[in-house]
Amino acid sequence: MTFLNLIGSMATSVTENTLPFLALITVLVFVHEMGHFLVARYNGVRIEVFSIGFGPELWGRTDRRGTRWKVSMVPLGGYVKMFGEGDMVTGVDDAEDRPMTPEERAVSFHHKRLAQRAAIVFAGPLANFVFAIVVMTGLFAAVGTPKPLSGVGQIQPDSAAAAAGFKTGDTIVAIDGQAIRWFDDLRNIVSRNPGKSLRFDIVRNNRDITLDATPARHVLEASQKGVAPRVIGLLGVSPDPAQVIYQRMGIVQAVEHGVGRTYAMTAGIMDALGQMIRGTRNANELGGPISIAIVSADVAQTGLINMMMLAAAFSVNLGLLNLFPVPMLDGGHLVFYAFEALRGRPLSQRTQEYGFRFGLVLVFLLMIFATWNDFVRLFARFGGL
């Protein structure tokens, strides 16, 4: 493939993936900023602008309270502009360069109590977590959770299943005479029998056949010190996506699963980041906006339900990312507020400015690194040069 053809293919791919990506980002940014907006308005802060996107305004309207709601040209984020948010120390209105009146101080973000300011800042990430819980709760209650049957989907090369002669489309009905229906039954029996020969009763093309397979031994490293590694058996098959039953949940159970799934996603992200910091996981796995766009487009083709689950997962990512203690992010503001609570007064304006500059550089470098990883994946996806 020539360089020009490669670039053309990459450009086409990015263009085709743009719409689902923008739709996803718009929803998640709206949720995040709405969290800030609602808590700010509840605490009496005047909201001047609620914008989806950055740059020149494409559409807008002003409500009765003076808030300008608008959609801007660059749809890669958004913001809520609160009165009194720009000046962090002097209490001077930036726009008119004069001291605030008592009426203005009453609706100024900067002049709210520390707890109120912290609540307003924290509300954005919190809204993302709540959104994820609500979406997954609704899906679990209305659609259900996918429970795969014991059909065989993909088979890993050089696996125990490949060596035994398993084929895609096989349905496993029994293992060593024990009837099974669900893929979880298959997984549990196989994992308990590493290195032991098992007899599988299979239905293939409406014919009953029997295969013998010995699950490979796989060592699970201990997650805590002092705990011995565990050995499990692996067959090397994945469930058949065409053989799935959705089981609906009651509302209480759906909420429990929604909260549990959100917690599991959060813990998984933190664990992955910890592995990258410790050097036990490749930082090249970090993806940027292009990767998100490609994943969004791929998932959008599989249906609305999967797209909603992806939105919930990305919402957790966005909420957690904004809580990182980096100036420029919500977590950085919360760190400043923590120092203010300990010292009894805010950090100096110069200290905050240096912090924000450091945060801006850090976020910018991280975006460059993630985008570079995206382009490397694109080159690999289209066969390189």
Q: Is the pLDDT of residue 235 over 60?
A: yes
- Residue 37: CB atoms within 10 A of its CB come to 22
Q: Which of 299-308, 315-324, 338-347, 372-381 has the lowest mean pLDDT?
A: 372-381
User: What are residue 217's DSSP bridge partners?
Assistant: 233
The rounded percent of the chain whose pLDDT value lies above 90 is 51
Out of 122-126, 245-249, 359-363, least confident range: 359-363
pLDDT given at position 63: 92
Biggest CA pair distance of the chain = 86
Look at residues 202, 203, 220 and name the one whose alpha carbon lies nearest to residue 211.
202
Tokens found for residue 74: 């660059």
Do residues 89 and 348 lie in contact, with contact meaning Cβ atoms separated by under 8 Å? yes
Per the CB < 8 A criterion, the answer to whether 352 and 328 are in contact is: no
Which pLDDT band holds residue 93 (cuts at 50, 70, 90)? very low
The average pLDDT across 230-256 equals 90
Residue type, 83: F
- Selection from 166, 236, 156, 235 nearest residue 194 by Cα: 235
Catalytic residue among 33, 85, 104, 221: 33
Q: Which residue in 374, 367, 381, 373 sits closest to 76, CA to CA?
A: 367
Q: Which residue has the higher pLDDT, 152 or 96?
A: 152
pLDDT tens digits along 8-43: 444 455 555 677 888 888 899 999 999 999 999 999
pTM of the shown model: 0.76
Task: Note the pLDDT of residue 351.
Answer: 85
User: What is the dotted CATH code of the domain comprising 148-246?
Assistant: 2.30.42.10
Is residue 265 classed exposed, middle or buried when 0-12, 13-18 and 19+ CB atoms within 10 A define those classes? buried
The residues facing 82 across adjacent strands are: 47
Q: Categorize the per-residue pLDDT at 7 as very low, low, confident or very high, splitting at 50, 70 and 90.
A: very low
pLDDT above 70 coverage of the chain, percent: 85
Q: Are 298 and 290 in contact (CB under 8 A)?
A: no
Contacts of 205-211 with C-beta under 8 Å, sequence gap 24+, read: 205/169, 211/164, 211/165, 211/166
Tell whether the model's pLDDT for residue 5 goes beyond 80: no
Q: Which pLDDT belongs to residue 86?
A: 63
- Structural domain boundaries of the chain? 15-45+112-144+293-383, 148-246
Average pLDDT for residues 298-304, to the nearest whole number?
80
Find the mean pLDDT for residues 334-360.
87
Least confident segment among 16-25, 78-87, 158-167: 16-25
Asked if 33 is an active-site residue, the reply is: yes
Looking at residue 139, its pLDDT comes to 94
In which element (H, E) is residue 212 found?
A: strand 207-213
Taking the C-alpha atoms of residue 302 and residue 300, their distance in angstroms, rounded to an integer, is 5
* SS3 (DSSP) at 134: helix
- pLDDT class of 300 with cuts at 50, 70, 90: confident
Lowest mean pLDDT among 13-27, 130-144, 170-184, 296-310: 13-27
Which residues lie across from 213 on neighbouring strands?
198
> What digits encode the pLDDT tens for the residues 95-105?
455 678 888 88
Residue with the bigger pLDDT between 241 and 201: it is 201
pLDDT tens column, 191-232 = 999 999 999 999 999 999 999 999 999 887 655 455 567 889
Q: Which residue has the higher pLDDT, 92 or 255?
A: 255
Count of positions (residues) in the chain: 385
The chain-wide mean pLDDT, for the chain, equals 84
Give the pLDDT confidence of 117-129 residue by residue, as tens digits.
999 999 999 999 9
* 239 closest CA partner among 128, 155, 347: 155
- Cβ-contact 246, 207 below 8 angstroms: no
Reading the block at residue 24, the tokens are 């996803």
* Whether pLDDT at 281 is above 70: no
